Structure 1
Amino acid sequence: MLFFIPILLVTLLPQIHAWGSLGHRTIAYLASLHFTPASNRFTNTLLHGQDISEAALFPDKVRHMPQFAYSAAWHFIDAQDSPPHQCGINMTRDCLAEGCVVSAIANHTARVADPHLPRFYRGQSLRFMIHFFGDVHQPLHTEAEDRGGNEVSVSFDGHATNLHSVWDTLIPNKYAAYDHGDDELLAAWTWAQRLYANDSRSLDECMDDAAECGLEWASEANAYVCSYVLAKDVHDQDLGGKYYEGAVPIVDEMVGKAGRRLAAWINAMTASASALEIE
């Protein structure tokens, strides 16, 4: 599996930040609500007591630092498909030589579970794992078209922006009634509690192989690119009205699935006594 990846073509990679900080915080908090007591102890130990929603932001904060430039490609997988007519992911075609979000999930999940790896490296990989479980559930992090929507000029409630930012930040922020200057942690915690309270499903998710599961989740997110995200021409349109209303259930569903699936994998890890051994 991947460990350190060479710095190649970093300047050509999309400048993207999946779900924005509010979405990533919400996913982390939702996962924590599903944690077993062992998972709570395990994550608190590896994160040195850091708030789990803050840990979720680490990969975005460091991705442009020279020493972490190798991680830039891990935030996405660029499906070379043809939305809205055809969507689909092919690992051989779409996962870069530097890696992608699917291979990164497989890599860091294995590292978190490895009791022979020092705590520092397991904690760092836990931060990547938490973040990438969020990234893989954002539809435009699974799509190459117009650099994942970064080059699609739109507006949102009268403000000029791009389609990627609409899905990363503007839809989640509006849905959670969060405005910059408000308490972001409280907004994320409130959203996570609502998702937890409204979700009666079990944590019986894809658990066999992290790479296969990551590909399954990426394909699920990518399908929304054809069925909704780019189903109609949105160039130069204001997406703060009916488009927003149709997108909200998708965002709510995918954030909820990301948090629930993250918890399922961490709970499964901590069910193993060996994984709880921390050097």
Structure 2
Amino acid sequence: MSIVVSLASLCILPISVLGWGNSGHKTIGYIAQAFLGPRTLAFVQNTLDSTYSGQLGPAAIWADQVKFTKGWTWSKPLHFVDANDDPLGGSCSVSDSRDCGASCILSAITNYTSRVHDTTLPAHFIGDIGQPLHCEAYKVGGNDITETFDGSSTELHAVWDTKIPEKTISIGFSGITDYANSLITRIKSGDYASVAASWISCTDPSLSQKRFDKPALGDFDHTIPMLPSKRTDLECPLVWAQDSNSLVCSTVFTGYQDPDLGTTYYTNNAPIVDQQIAKSGYRLAAWLNTIFDGTALP
């Protein structure tokens, strides 16, 4: 499987939870595709399996699908970082040394960025890192918090992964591509245009690569250590994780004890989910563009 497939999923998720779910990840892939530079686009189209027709959107769910299959279960921890902070006490933070352990989404992004040019290897997971509860340890990233959403029992993590984005798509758009196109327009000329540059203020892969001993190249499997022996704080992936984690204190746990999160909670948080998905797609494009085109935006 090609590196770009995994790249489209680049944020990583806690188990039992599919960071953003299929709809969110596909949307992130479609958004990223709209901002790819010429060399990056050529790389994506030449590298992706023909099943995906050269599109990051349908390819973006691959990492979530494969992590439960034989030979790939080792990749589960690469979808999230367990921030051991105190969100209910109003204190949110992410620390590489405290929270990453043997491997996490931070180290995965760094590790596979360093080998992205080798087209025999899968790369990383930028989408998941934009989901706030993929950057939180409390109650297993909200997986152990039972909720009701539009009358159905679920978990708080699933509310953010799937329930909110899927409800947004179902009530306001004809499908995933329509939703993605709406977010693309908002980035280019709508309400996100004035803030989009700040989303990619840290998008230089060298800021991650230079902090590690370059790992040896090889097949993408459990025999490759996800972390080199030397490790200090990551830069861009850590910045993104801290950005998402801040929403756990400011947003995620505000009103989470409402009797049904499909009402007021949804109304309050759907715009946040829209922005995080848009942000993840835009960051993914900028990250890839920097690697292949030498600039974040074409």
TM over 0.5: yes
Kept after mapping to 1: 8 A contact 2:130/2:276: yes
Q: How does 1:23-172 map to 2 (within 5 A)?
A: 23-49=24-50, 50=52, 51-84=55-88, 85-97=90-102, 99-112=103-116, 114=117, 117=118, 119-121=119-121, 124-125=122-123, 129=124, 132-172=125-165
Query: Which secondary structure does the structure 2 equivalent of 1:155 belong to?
Result: strand
1:224 — aligned with what? 247
TM-score by length of 1: 0.81
What is the alpha-carbon distance in structure 1 between the residues aligned to residue 250 and residue 150 of structure 2? 23
Structure 2 unaligned runs (5+)? 1-13, 188-192, 209-233
TM-score by length of 2: 0.76
CA-atom RMSD in angstroms: 2.0
Kept after mapping to 2: 8 A contact 1:22/1:187: no
What is the alpha-carbon distance in structure 2 between the residues aligned to residue 82 and residue 152 of structure 1? 16
Structure 1 unaligned runs (5+)? 1-12, 273-279
2:238 — aligned with what? 215
1:253 — aligned with what? 275
Query: Which secondary structure does the structure 2 equivalent of 1:221 belong to?
Result: helix
Paired amino acid for 2:150: D
Query: Which secondary structure does the structure 2 equivalent of 1:151 belong to?
Result: coil
Q: How does 1:172-191 map to 2 (within 5 A)?
A: 172-177=165-170, 187-191=175-179
Kept after mapping to 2: 8 A contact 1:154/1:239: yes
What is the alpha-carbon distance in structure 2 between the residues aligned to residue 220 and residue 207 of structure 1? 14
What is the alpha-carbon distance in structure 2 between the residues aligned to residue 237 and residue 215 of structure 1? 34
2:186 — aligned with what? 198
* Regions of 4+ moved over 6 Å: none
Kept after mapping to 1: 8 A contact 2:32/2:56: no
What is the alpha-carbon distance in structure 2 between the residues aligned to residue 14 and residue 48 of structure 1? 26
Paired residues, number: 242
Inter-CA distance 28–178: structure 2 relative to 1 (3 Å threshold): farther
Query: Which secondary structure does the structure 2 equivalent of 1:43 belong to?
Result: helix
Q: Show CA shifts across 1:79-130 (max 9, x none).
A: 1111132110111111021x11111111122221x3xx3x221xx22xxx3x
What is the alpha-carbon distance in structure 1 between the residues aligned to residue 186 and residue 45 of structure 2? 26
Query: Which secondary structure does the structure 2 equivalent of 1:154 belong to?
Result: strand
What is the alpha-carbon distance in structure 1 between the residues aligned to residue 266 and residue 258 of structure 2? 15
Kept after mapping to 2: 8 A contact 1:133/1:258: yes
Q: How far does residue 14 in structure 1 lie from its aligned partner after superposition?
A: 3.2
1:277 — aligned with what? none
Higher helix share: 1
Kept after mapping to 2: 8 A contact 1:205/1:261: no
Q: How far does residue 261 in structure 1 lie from its aligned partner after superposition?
A: 0.6
